């Protein structure tokens, strides 16, 4: 018989398992505390459980269905994980530590591969395999915590896959992070390439975490060239939907913009972008393209980055330039999986 997977189950799921196995509901709460607040590695580490309960768990359950297949540690402290799923497929997560800050941010995946086919993304080359279950999404954070012994304080849904195309499992995992891992809604960010029906769904449930939009272009023409999703969900409709979203939720959105040399980094592009988002309650996050030998794209000139930033700031936007993390490892999403797939 298949073993019961514990991490990622909601409270009632675990309580039912305990009751079905002649244990009290209270034992479920104890197990919850061990996995979500302490992220223990084994059932034997759950020292306040009676030996007989621990034996039962060992016989009938496992903590996770994911396992760590590979791990790379960067000089700057970034850790990249390759997790193997039960069916042999792999997904990636990254843990980032920022100097002078207590925050530990984990970037997690929601799908195996991705169907969106953005031209600058290594994950796109894997194609789409399947959605992750909510349990598989939650287990990434659990395994990072149990491996490092550290508490993840911020979670970003920016790994492999398009979260809004797996929206129900994504929302269920957020519920568990908030209620069990005790990560505040404002410390969770979901990044989408612009799936309008998904944004509308989040708007209708008054989503309280941060929504980030991978815009990466100042107009539809450039966007279609690098992000095929723009053929279906047009630039102007996306900005209009985001405007409605910010009005309904009273939440600012984050515009993600990866600067790629000679593709979308001209001063004209900066001006167009500033105009396009001038009425949108938003901050801008500029990301410097992580150049790699398999991609035709190049990193922009430093001078251009500064000018681009200046133009947006002059238009009244708060702009951050995202530090490149883990430059000495395969930290860009999809690179580690691609290596694995080609082995």
Catalytic site positions: 92, 333
Q: How many CA atoms lie within 13 A of 82 on its CB side?
A: 21
The Cα–Cα gap between 46 and 31 comes to 7
79 vs 107, beta carbon nearer ligand SF4: 107
Q: What single DSSP character describes residue 29?
A: H
Binding residue for ligand SF4, selected from 193, 230, 263, 270, defined by CB under 6 A: 193
Give the shortest CB-40-to-ligand SF4 separation in angstroms.
32
State the sign of the Cα–Cα–Cα–Cα dihedral 243, 248, 252, 253: negative
Binding residue for ligand SF4, selected from 53, 105, 123, 285, defined by CB under 6 A: 123
The Cα–Cα gap between 294 and 331 comes to 14
Give the shortest CB-194-to-ligand SF4 separation in angstroms.
9
Per the CB < 8 A criterion, the answer to whether 112 and 136 are in contact is no
Give the shortest CB-68-to-ligand SF4 separation in angstroms.
21
212 vs 277, beta carbon nearer ligand SF4: 212
**Residues 6 or more apart in contact with residue 271 via CB below 8 angstroms:** 311
Q: Which H/E stretch holds residue 11? A: helix 11-20
The Cα–Cα gap between 211 and 245 comes to 10
Q: For the window 135-174, what string marks contact with ligand SF4 as x by the rule CB under 6 A?
A: -------------------------xxx------------
121 vs 155, beta carbon nearer ligand SF4: 121
Give the shortest CB-110-to-ligand SF4 separation in angstroms.
9
Binding residue for ligand SF4, selected from 14, 79, 94, 114, defined by CB under 6 A: 114
Q: For the window 227-256, what string marks contact with ligand SF4 as x by the rule CB under 6 A?
A: ------------------------------
Please report, as residue ranges, which positions from 201 to 230 form the binding site for ligand SF4 (by CB under 6 A).
none
Give the per-residue SS3 of 34-64.
HHHHCCCCCHHHCCCCCHHHHHHHHHHEECC
Interacting residues toward ligand SF4 by CB under 6 A: 114, 116-118, 121, 123-124, 160-162, 193, 333
């Amino acid at each position: 018989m298949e073993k019961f997977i514990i991490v990622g189950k909601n409270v009632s799921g675990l309580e039912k398992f305990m009751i079905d196995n002649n244990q009290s509901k209270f034992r479920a709460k104890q197990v919850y505390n061990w996995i979500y607040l302490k992220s223990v590695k084994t059932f034997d580490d759950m020292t306040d459980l009676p030996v007989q309960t621990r034996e039962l768990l060992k016989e009938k359950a496992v903590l996770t269905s994911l396992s760590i297949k590979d791990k790379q540690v960067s000089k700057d402290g970034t850790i990249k994980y390759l997790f193997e799923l039960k069916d042999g497929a792999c997904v990636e997560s990254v843990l980032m530590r920022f100097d002078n800050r207590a925050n530990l941010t984990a970037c997690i995946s929601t799908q195996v591969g991705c169907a969106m086919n953005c031209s600058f993304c290594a994950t796109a080359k894997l194609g789409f395999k399947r959605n992750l279950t909510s349990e598989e999404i939650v287990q990434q954070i659990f395994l990072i915590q149990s491996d490092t012994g550290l508490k993840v304080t911020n979670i970003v849904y920016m790994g492999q896959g398009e979260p809004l195309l797996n929206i129900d499992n994504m929302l269920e995992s957020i519920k568990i992070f908030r209620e069990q891992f005790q990560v505040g809604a404002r410390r969770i960010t979901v990044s989408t390439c612009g799936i309008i029906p998904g944004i509308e769904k989040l708007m209708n449930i008054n989503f309280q975490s941060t929504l980030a939009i991978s815009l990466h272009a100042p107009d539809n023409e450039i966007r279609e060239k690098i992000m095929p999703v723009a053929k279906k969900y047009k630039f102007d409709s996306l900005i209009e939907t985001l405007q409605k979203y910010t009005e309904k939720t009273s939440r600012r959105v984050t515009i993600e913009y990866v600067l790629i040399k000679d593709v979308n980094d001209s001063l004209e592009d900066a001006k167009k972008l500033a105009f396009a988002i001038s009425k949108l309650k938003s901050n801008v996050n500029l990301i410097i393209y992580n150049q790699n030998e398999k991609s035709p794209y190049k990193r922009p000139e430093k001078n251009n980055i500064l000018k681009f930033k200046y133009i947006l700031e002059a238009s009244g936007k708060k702009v951050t330039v995202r530090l490149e993390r883990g430059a000495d490892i395969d930290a860009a999403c999809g690179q580690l999986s691609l290596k694995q797939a080609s082995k």
